[in-house]
Structure 1
Amino acid sequence: MNAAEIHDKAIVIDGLICAKWNRELFEDMAKGKLTAANCTVSFWENFEGTVRNVVEMNQLIEANSDLLLKVRTTKDIHRAKAEGKTGVMMGFQNAHAFEDQIGYVQVFKDLGVGIVQMCYNTQNLVGTGCYERDGGLSGYGREIVAEMNRVGMLCDLSHVGPNTAKEVIIESTKPVAYSHCLPAGLKEHPRNRTDEELKFIADNGGFVGVTMFAPFLKAGINATIDDYVEAIQYIYNIVGEDAIGIGTDFTQGHGYDFFEYLTHDKGYARRLTRFGEIINPLGMRTVGDFPNLTEALLKHGFSERQVVKIMGENWVNLLEEVWGE
C-alpha cells in the first residue's frame, strides 16, 4: 500500500488539540482523516467554568454531527472510523476543575471526560507544574490518582513537574501518559522530557505522545515535518514501538489573547514563559495535513505496521486499558 492508502485505513488519533472549536476546524479534521482527538475543555477554569465548556462542546458536537461524534469508549473511536467522522475525546489540561472535591472526578467521567492532566504549568492542589519548584504529588493528589484509576480516567503528565510526574507514574495502578511532549535530548526546555524520564514512564507501562509545538522543537519556527519526525524517532528509540503516539498540540485558529491566557499563571497572574512566534512545522501547518505525517514516517524508514501503531493504534490500546472498554 502507498502512504495515502495506509493513512485511509489507519485509525488516526491526536492525543492533544486545543484549537479554536468551529466548523472550519472540524472540516479540516475531516480533510486530515482524523479518527479521534483529545480536545481540551479546561485549562484554568474551576468546576463551574469547566462544566460550561463541556456544555458548549456537547452543543458543538450536536450541531456538527455530520462530522463529529462524542467518544466515551474505544468502541466509539472504532465507530468514528467506520462512519468517517472525528471522535471528540474531552480532556482537561489541569486537575484544577476538581477543586477540592474527589467526587467531581466521577461527575466529569459521567459527562464524558476521559483524560485529565494533573497540573498545568504551576502548583495546584494535586501537585506541581513544570514551571516552578516541584514539591511532588500531594496527599490529596494521591487520592485523585486513585479515583481516576477507579473511574477509568487517563492521568496526563505533559505540563507536570518532574517530581510530581514520577510520583504519579509510581502511584497509578493504570498506565499514564505524556500526551504531548518532546525530548530534552534535542532541545532543553522545561516542557521537554529527559531520556531518563521518557524511559521511566515506558518502563512502568506508560505512554508518550509526541508534540510538534514549535517553541519546543530544536528548529523552532523554522521546523519542518522532517524535524517533527526526528523527534518521534528520538522518542521511539527510547520507549519502543508500543508506547508512542501523536499529540500535536494544535492551537489552530487561536490568536494573541489565547496564548497570553496560557502563559500566565491561572490565566491572569504572573507570566510563566513567552512562546514568541508560533508557526507549525512546514508540512504540518493544519490538522488537514495529517496524511503528510504518515507519508513522512514511511519516508524516514518506519514500517507500515509501525506507522499504523504510531498514528493511532497505540493510543487505542492505551485508552482501552485505562477506560476498561
Structure 2
Amino acid sequence: MSTLHQDAIIIDGLIISKWNREVFEDMKKGGLTAANCTVSVWDDFKSTVHNIAQMKGMIRANSDLLTLVRSTADIEQAKKDGKTGIILGFQNAHAFEDHLGYVEAFADMGVRVVQLCYNTQNLIGTGCYERDGGLSGYGREVIGEMNRVGIMVDLSHVGAKTSEEAILESKKPVTYSHCLPAGLKEHPRNKSDEQLRFIADHGGFIGVTMFPPFLKRGTDATVDDYVEALDYVINLVGEDCVGVGTDHTQGYGQDFFDHITHDKGRGRRLTNFGTVQNPLGIRTIGEMPNLTAAMERAGWPANKITKVMGRNWLRVFAEVWGA
C-alpha cells in the first residue's frame, strides 16, 4: 500500500456486499475509511428496519474494525482510529412506503443516502428499465423531506426523466453514486454525456462504478479500464465532482443476482448480467490500493487522486448532511 493511499481518506460511494467479518476485514485491508453500504433494495419498511438493526449489531460485534457514520466528523474520526465508517444507504426508496414521516424516522436511525428507485416504478418515480413517467407529486415531497433531514438523493438506477426532475427539485446536491458513461458503452444503466453534464452543472456528484456488465470491456476489464472510465467522466465534468462507487458484490452468488435483477425481487426479469467478475486488479475490496496505484500509473497528480478517492465525497456529504 502506497503512502499516498495510506494517508488519504478513501471513500467508496456504494458497496452491496454480503455483510460479514470477512468483508469487514477486507475493507480494513483495502484501507477504506468509509463506504455507503446498502441495507435495503426490495425491502419494505419493516424488513429494512430489521436489516438496519442487523447491521448495527454487526458494527458492535466488529467494533475493532467498524464504526457507524452519522456525520462527516465520524468519517474523519474513523480515519484517525484506523477503522472503516459504515454509512447506511438504500438502493430503493420503497422502504419509505407511502408515509412521508418514515423519511425522518430512517434519518434518525442513521440512514444517510437513499436511491429514489431501483430499476422500476415505485411511488416516487421510475427506474432505468421501463418507460419513465417522471417524478410523482409524492416524490417531490420525499425529496423535500430528504433535503430537510439530511439524506442524500441517489439516482444511479433511476430513469432519465425522473433523474432530471429530481436534480431540479432538490435544494441539496444529488448523486449518481455508482454509474458509468454511455459514451464508453451503451447500457440502460449507463449515463449519457448530457446526463453527466446536467447533474454536474446543477451541483451534483458522480460516483463511477466498475461493475463489469457496464464497462467497455466487460469481464475482460482491468483496473486500468476503470481508471479510463473515471478519466472519461472527469474530462466531461471536472475532477471536483467525481468519486469512486465500486458496487462491490463480494460474497454473493447467483441467487443474489437473480433476486436483484427481477422486478420487486420476484417479478419479471429486467436484465441478465451474465458472469459478474470485477476488473482484474480490483476484484476484491482489499485490492483498493491497486486503484490508487493505477491512477499513479496513468499520471494522475496526488491532489487529483486524493480528491477522487475520498475528499470529494467528504465535501459533498458535508453539504448534504450538514455539520
TM-score, normalised on structure 2? 1.00
Partner of 2:21: 23
Per-residue CA distance 1:220-252 (angstroms, 9 max, x = gap)? 001000110110000010111110000000000
Per-residue CA distance 1:247-298 (angstroms, 9 max, x = gap)? 0000000001100000000000000000000000000010000001011111
Q: Which amino acid aligns with 2:89?
A: G
Q: Aligned equivalents of 2:232 and 2:97: distance in 1?
A: 37
Partner of 1:203: 201
- What percent identity do the matched residue pairs reach? 64
Q: Which amino acid aligns with 1:55?
A: A
Q: Aligned equivalents of 1:41 and 1:276: distance in 2?
A: 24
Partner of 1:119: 117
Q: Aligned equivalents of 2:239 and 2:264: distance in 1?
A: 36
Partner of 1:258: 256
Shift of 1:302: 1.2
Provide runs of 4+ in structure 1 moved above 6 Å: none
Q: Which amino acid aligns with 2:264?
A: K
Partner of 1:269: 267
Per-residue CA distance 1:173-228 (angstroms, 9 max, x = gap)? 00000000000000000000000000000000000000000000000001000110
* Structural RMSD (CA): 0.5
Q: Which amino acid aligns with 1:144?
A: V
Partner of 1:153: 151
Among candidates 253, 276, 279, match of residue 278 of structure 1? 276
Partner of 2:168: 170
Partner of 1:289: 287
Q: Which amino acid aligns with 1:63?
A: A
TM-score, normalised on structure 1? 0.99
Shift of 1:299: 1.1
Q: Counterpart of 1:155 in 2: which secondary structure?
A: strand
Q: Aligned equivalents of 2:54 and 2:320: distance in 1?
A: 26
Partner of 2:237: 239
Q: Which amino acid aligns with 1:158?
A: S
Q: Counterpart of 1:178 in 2: which secondary structure?
A: strand
Within-5 A mapping of 1:80-159: 80-159=78-157
Among candidates 19, 22, 32, match of residue 34 of structure 1? 32
Q: Aligned equivalents of 2:27 and 2:242: distance in 1?
A: 21
Q: Which amino acid aligns with 1:296?
A: A
